[in-house]
Structure 1
């Protein structure tokens, strides 16, 4: 006679778990790139001084991109203290915890329970007419309502939660990449504002000297009141600009401190900031000049003093604050797949695909198990004695018959959500393609524009020298000198702005390309 196999709730649960494995989610396929294969620059990329070649394959660390030691330290402080990045990191912790909650549904929840019950029955309620006292004690170990995942509902919900966690992690990378770019941009803007202030102060100094000499000349009768008024107007204009740039420099410094999350030590600021902050502000000088030139007979204003046309030397455009990355002329579009926002959009698409599988599983039967083992006794002392064991096994099957279209509507919602995620994924790639293309188009003409602006500054300097010489010889009036001064000042300010644009463009390229120039092996679709 064959001995029957023992049947326990544990073996039953294991057998049901082995049968589970059907997955109703559609097979995920990465959508094709909705953009051209390469992001070609409209013009060949010129080689620029200070260029640094990017390592082949994969993204470049921001520490390699930032060459200035002071700026690198500032970025490190921002990564440690910035509140937006801290919120993004906390969001990862929250998503990880939520994923753990969903993942727990894949396993039965085992609970231990102990109970004791002692009751007395009244005399009138017993057959013998005497009160009866009963006791019952039990100890059990088991689980309840554990779903056997035959059709992958729990597994797909678990996959959707995992993709949400990965999406939040990519958002954190996106915030960090943006923060690095913003800190570098704010640092460079602070440097440009300091150089603008330095130029404005130097211009104010030369125009004040010219005003004093013109005023002395007017007192001696060698120049007219119109020339004096024009010199006063030029000095006042420079004074307004200098005061405005002082405010702008303070605002730029506050913006950098907000990004870093704490005040930036002066030693970590650009050298131009220390130069303008240690220099004494230029104020109007009172009193007559120490020397004056007497007008020569017959020369009119030929020998009258004229404004000095000296201007401060600007920073060499060939020596940028951060080393220039050597960007290839044609960048493959597949590199966009490494951008954090694109990868986040793909994780959202993968999660939406998994939700379709969960919605489809709702059309099929669901099986849940409740099982327990334990011991029971009328006396607490005999609770764990032999022969007092108990067990219970209660499987339950649920089959949807009529739900008024609820499951069909839920499936349609999941499918539309997936289609929406596809459109958002493609839009993210197209947006990234445009951002990179715009940055490359800007990059293609920056060198030529810088050279042209440098030539314009030299030409305006020469114009000012010639206008000043003609005024001294009496061949022209002072209005031509003032016009040449204004033109030179505007050209120099534009040169500083263009130098800043060239540096910020490099930062923008690093950001919009996700820190990568080449992508020989795109990341896997699952991306974990």
Structure 2
């Protein structure tokens, strides 16, 4: 009994050959890069416990080596306002929305590329009407009108003999991985930016409050000097000096107000809103709690934790797979095309056994001469792979530097806060004593002026030193990768290749 489609045995042999060769793919296989990581990231060993000071934000912090980082590390600061602000930013930020869309696009392109491993099947139905003149055959009369109906099913299949299609899929998947870690980097930049800006806003608000209090004190001092000048107890120079001191204090206030407004505008931008629409809370340094236990990852763990390193790794994977695609482009490309259908002069005769037709085309294309285009494309891609490998190493080095810088700041700023607290307490006592002695005529006004300047500097330095402890901790959480591996709010990947064939 003859087969209904006699081309099927001929088509089966190449398909079987393609299956047997499915494990072969030209080009280098990607292996996750590694380096001989250092035992520590800092030049000098870091103490396991920081210095402490008896003020908010001055608690000693224990550095817990190898401890895991929570996914929502910003909650460790104990500020409900900060937690709510970060949640709003993660939900509404256009930056996150754009990065998420880029990831979904890359995932869909991966599924699109995966479809190249399967046969492409299409159907065609047509009706043709035409006139064929027969006068040249010696047949008189008008040209007859001819109708033709046809229906055909076409199949096209490219044999992935050299693995070029699979390398292209691997390349697209690596691109999706790259976008995945770009999204995580966007989350990390956003959350750390919101937290750092909130601390900065609290610091500036505290500096403004101190400066306003100092301006009030300077005004009282001016009143005292003016009274003593009227009574002959102070000179005109003393009066002019105090007036200048008051004006100077007012001048210092202006850039602080500007910087606070700009910081709050930045917070509004993180939320994806105009400053007038953000409705931001007021932040105070006393609203934050300094985490007393800080996880510190071992150097080898940074390779898997930092999104920028993982993105650089995915980029290297992408370029490695692209080299396989470039190599496969220089080798023969085998394509199978088959068709089965029917054609008839009348629609009622289309499915008659005598009107059936079929075709089978086996095609192999081998580049012979292209003036070296494919060769140089392959060499260029190898150079791109080597570039990506060097960029990955540079990203790792920069990551180690980042962590080392932050750890040094964490230790040194803790010592600095203790010194700033001591200086502020001493400056306050010195100013009180100098002011009292000046009223009693025991010291010149120069002593009061010096004490005022010392107190102003010490007070602002203390607030900045407190803020630095919080900012250093935020920077450390960001430098260690932000704990994205412990978050569970990432959107699921798109449906598989065949689970949603229709839009």
**Residues in 1 aligned to 2:115 and 2:278: alpha-carbon distance in whole angstroms:** 52
Q: How does 1:277-296 map to 2 (within 5 A)?
A: none
**Residues in 1 aligned to 2:146 and 2:277: alpha-carbon distance in whole angstroms:** 79
Query: In the alignment, what sits opposite 1:247?
Result: 258
Q: In the alignment, is residue 492 of structure 1 matched against residue 459 of structure 2?
A: yes
Q: Quick check: 1:325–1:506 contact (8 Å CA) kept in 2? A: no
Q: In the alignment, is residue 43 of structure 1 matched against residue 55 of structure 2?
A: no
SS at match of 1:363: coil
Q: In the alignment, is residue 217 of structure 1 matched against residue 228 of structure 2?
A: yes
Gaps of 5+ in 2: 53-58, 487-503
Q: CA deviation at 1:127?
A: 4.4
**Residues in 1 aligned to 2:48 and 2:62: alpha-carbon distance in whole angstroms:** 14
Query: In the alignment, what sits opposite 1:422?
Result: 389
TM-score (norm 2): 0.86
TM-aligned CA distance change 1:404 to 1:421, over 3 Å? same
TM-aligned CA distance change 1:323 to 1:450, over 3 Å? closer
TM-aligned CA distance change 1:167 to 1:325, over 3 Å? farther
Q: In the alignment, is residue 94 of structure 1 matched against residue 105 of structure 2?
A: yes
Query: In the alignment, what sits opposite 2:179?
Result: 168
SS at match of 1:387: helix
Query: In the alignment, what sits opposite 1:384?
Result: 351
**Residues in 1 aligned to 2:232 and 2:398: alpha-carbon distance in whole angstroms:** 67
**Residues in 1 aligned to 2:37 and 2:477: alpha-carbon distance in whole angstroms:** 20
- Report which stretch shifted further, 82-91 or 154-163: 82-91
Query: In the alignment, what sits opposite 1:134?
Result: 146
Q: CA RMSD in A?
A: 2.9
Q: In the alignment, is residue 477 of structure 1 matched against residue 444 of structure 2?
A: yes
Q: Quick check: 2:49–2:62 contact (8 Å CA) kept in 1? A: no
Q: CA deviation at 1:186?
A: 0.7
* 1:65-89 CA-partner distances (Å, limit 9, x unpaired): 4531110110111112222222222
* 1:75-121 CA-partner distances (Å, limit 9, x unpaired): 11111222222222222233233333323322222111012222222
**Residues in 1 aligned to 2:20 and 2:138: alpha-carbon distance in whole angstroms:** 54
TM-aligned CA distance change 1:266 to 1:384, over 3 Å? closer
SS at match of 2:49: coil
Query: In the alignment, what sits opposite 1:393?
Result: 360
Matched length: 473
Q: Quick check: 1:82–1:259 contact (8 Å CA) kept in 2? A: yes
Quick check: which has more Rg, 1 or 2? 1
**Residues in 2 aligned to 1:268 and 1:2: alpha-carbon distance in whole angstroms:** 81
Q: Quick check: 1:45–1:329 contact (8 Å CA) kept in 2? A: no
Q: CA deviation at 1:257?
A: 1.1
* 1:279-318 CA-partner distances (Å, limit 9, x unpaired): xxxxxxxxxxxxxxxxxxxxxxxxxxxxxxxxxxxx6xxx
Q: Quick check: 2:271–2:278 contact (8 Å CA) kept in 1? A: no
Q: Quick check: 1:195–1:496 contact (8 Å CA) kept in 2? A: yes
Q: Quick check: 1:160–1:350 contact (8 Å CA) kept in 2? A: yes
Query: In the alignment, what sits opposite 1:256?
Result: 267
Q: CA deviation at 1:350?
A: 0.8
TM-score (norm 1): 0.82
**Residues in 1 aligned to 2:291 and 2:330: alpha-carbon distance in whole angstroms:** 59
- Report which stretch shifted further, 162-171 or 238-247: 238-247
SS at match of 1:115: strand
Q: In the alignment, is residue 25 of structure 1 matched against residue 37 of structure 2?
A: no
Q: In the alignment, is residue 436 of structure 1 matched against residue 403 of structure 2?
A: yes
**Residues in 1 aligned to 2:297 and 2:340: alpha-carbon distance in whole angstroms:** 69
Q: Quick check: 2:309–2:396 contact (8 Å CA) kept in 1? A: yes
Query: In the alignment, what sits opposite 2:497?
Result: none
Query: In the alignment, what sits opposite 1:192?
Result: 203
Q: CA deviation at 1:133?
A: 3.6
Q: In the alignment, is residue 375 of structure 1 matched against residue 342 of structure 2?
A: yes
**Residues in 1 aligned to 2:458 and 2:331: alpha-carbon distance in whole angstroms:** 75
Q: How does 1:333-344 map to 2 (within 5 A)?
A: 333-344=300-311
Q: In the alignment, is residue 183 of structure 1 matched against residue 194 of structure 2?
A: yes
**Residues in 2 aligned to 1:3 and 1:222: alpha-carbon distance in whole angstroms:** 124
SS at match of 1:352: helix
SS at match of 1:37: coil
Q: In the alignment, is residue 202 of structure 1 matched against residue 204 of structure 2?
A: no
Q: CA deviation at 1:384?
A: 2.0
**Residues in 2 aligned to 1:503 and 1:167: alpha-carbon distance in whole angstroms:** 31
SS at match of 1:374: strand
TM-aligned CA distance change 1:115 to 1:10, over 3 Å? farther
**Residues in 2 aligned to 1:350 and 1:446: alpha-carbon distance in whole angstroms:** 40
